[in-house]
Structure 1
């Protein structure tokens, strides 16, 4: 489903003031204060505060802001940021979230992580395998013993005693790890005749991403796209061991396509509206998820240039050159043209990609 500003989470009521973070004053009073300050500084109050919200840039990206280049965040962009925060709060689940849009992990587990017998300390390998099982079951509710076995022990006979023992061991570890809700109900109930299921309160960030974006990023609001892209911490299942996520190969491709589609949509809107922080967010997330998409590199160069982030533009050109060199590929014509135009605008261009004489040169 598509989440709108009026939508409510099924697990918690909508917060009437969620979109306004300053309960001591009203939005109108805050705007009056800002207008007065802007007048004293000789600035246009309609341009909004001069500091870009930190959450417009993903935590995994290199730090940069519109303010670094002297570009103010518009009141329109700030309003979208506030709405995006409200939407994120409204879709936030009551139970644990299996985070797969980046390094695989479980957020909000109330139990104990698996412990290695040899050391008596938490086993990172078993904890990640539990997270992989949680992701699998959250995305395949009612999975059969056959599907479970095929996902984690390919080639094993699901009806054999060895497979049953393996399922019981891993299921027990995940059950202890996820823990229970406030009413003492396990987040991973024992298997039932209709298959393996997690508690309805357990979800994934990929599921939340889909709830925010809806069937197509084209029909999603700016705030929904911002809220969804903020969830992305890296490439899907980043650093996960292949044996834990072999079942997710097709899903991985689907996720990359959906995230980059949302990134391109928001980047295009940001370019037209002048919402530079959203352009940075969108293009950084897009490149992080699909570094092989040269169009996203170009969009990122444009977004960082719009923000006046000169050092980031230089870093991008250098990074793109290194990537193309590793792939033994040449830059696309459109990429060369963008770099040439930025060079003409005074941006420093590190060695590597020769932008040529520039558009229109003899």
Structure 2
């Protein structure tokens, strides 16, 4: 199966994109924003991409959980963010004005995309479809992964996003594991390796994905690569909180996959 083309028409955004599956980025904004204002503007866009139809109380609680925020301060942030995001081809603001929405709540315009929402769309299409189309949908989802979700966020911000980050990590692990298994069983070893590695971009400590990687290397007959992958997992585990033990399932799999040492008599 060919690698997904991320420039295919169904994935080409017609406006700005809020990218969360890796370093937080707002791509395609046509306006300008001062560098010292960009962090809060990016957080506002991330929040609205994931929580459309929020009222001012929800925005305040997310962006300023420990502060009392007045209307003027909130409106200034929203106005700067709206200017940064810009307008569509018809001159409509990508960050809608509250007074122009039916329920007087905050929303991004229809041409603003978010990689997590696109990931979910492709994952839903592919997870229960075991045909080639289903595998392609899963590949399209994984192609959106650039690193651990919300990388680079200010540690003092984004408390509201923690449950979503865990949901993203879990979904990426599931999709990557599923696709790697499917491709290995179809004897597409490059595809199996690609899927496992894409998942590991987001959650390098996932032993589920390391096991998928081990199985793909073993299916390829590449024992050297298998040993190096196992060593990498050990290094990762050693770096976590002073060191953690490898899962029993992973250790057992490696015992079964790696050739036994030959002892001279």
| TM tier, smaller | 0.7 to 0.9
2:20 corresponds to which residue? 100
- Does residue 226 in structure 1 map to residue 139 in structure 2? yes
Counterparts in 2 of 1:190 and 1:260: CA distance versus 1, 3 Å: same
Structural mapping, 1:159-178, within 5 Å = 162-178=69-85
2:110 corresponds to which residue? 200
Spell out, residue by residue over 1:137-185, the C-alpha distance to the aligned partner (whole angstroms, 9 max, x if none). Answer: 122222101000000011434xxxx432321222122112111112221
Spell out, residue by residue over 1:35-75, the C-alpha distance to the aligned partner (whole angstroms, 9 max, x if none). Answer: xxxxxxxxxxxxxxxxxxxxxxxxxxxxxxxxxxxxxxxxx
**Deviation of the 1:311 alpha carbon:** 6.1
**Deviation of the 1:340 alpha carbon:** 4.0
Counterparts in 2 of 1:88 and 1:266: CA distance versus 1, 3 Å: farther
* Equivalent residues of 2:21, 2:147 under 8 A apart: yes
1:56 corresponds to which residue? none
**Deviation of the 1:330 alpha carbon:** 2.2
* Equivalent residues of 2:62, 2:160 under 8 A apart: yes
SS at match of 1:219: coil
Spell out, residue by residue over 1:118-148, the C-alpha distance to the aligned partner (whole angstroms, 9 max, x if none). Answer: xxxxx1x532332221111122222101000
> Aligned equivalents of 1:302 and 1:342: distance in 2?
8
Structural mapping, 1:142-161, within 5 Å = 142-157=53-68
- Does residue 331 in structure 1 map to residue 246 in structure 2? yes
> Aligned equivalents of 1:128 and 1:307: distance in 2?
45
* Equivalent residues of 2:146, 2:202 under 8 A apart: no
2:94 corresponds to which residue? 187
SS at match of 1:98: strand
> Aligned equivalents of 2:119 and 2:255: distance in 1?
36
| Bigger CA radius of gyration | 1
Single out whichever of 139-148 and 181-190 deviates more from structure 2.
181-190
- Does residue 134 in structure 1 map to residue 49 in structure 2? no
Counterparts in 2 of 1:87 and 1:108: CA distance versus 1, 3 Å: closer
1:67 corresponds to which residue? none
**Deviation of the 1:320 alpha carbon:** 1.1
Spell out, residue by residue over 1:276-331, the C-alpha distance to the aligned partner (whole angstroms, 9 max, x if none). Answer: 22212221122232233212112112224445666654442222111222332222
Q: What runs of 5+ residues in structure 2 fail to find an aligned partner?
A: none
* Equivalent residues of 1:217, 1:261 under 8 A apart: no
* TM-score normalised to structure 1 length: 0.64
Structural mapping, 1:27-176, within 5 Å = 77-78=1-2, 81=3, 84-85=4-5, 88-112=8-32, 114-115=33-34, 123=35, 126-157=37-68, 162-176=69-83
1:35 corresponds to which residue? none
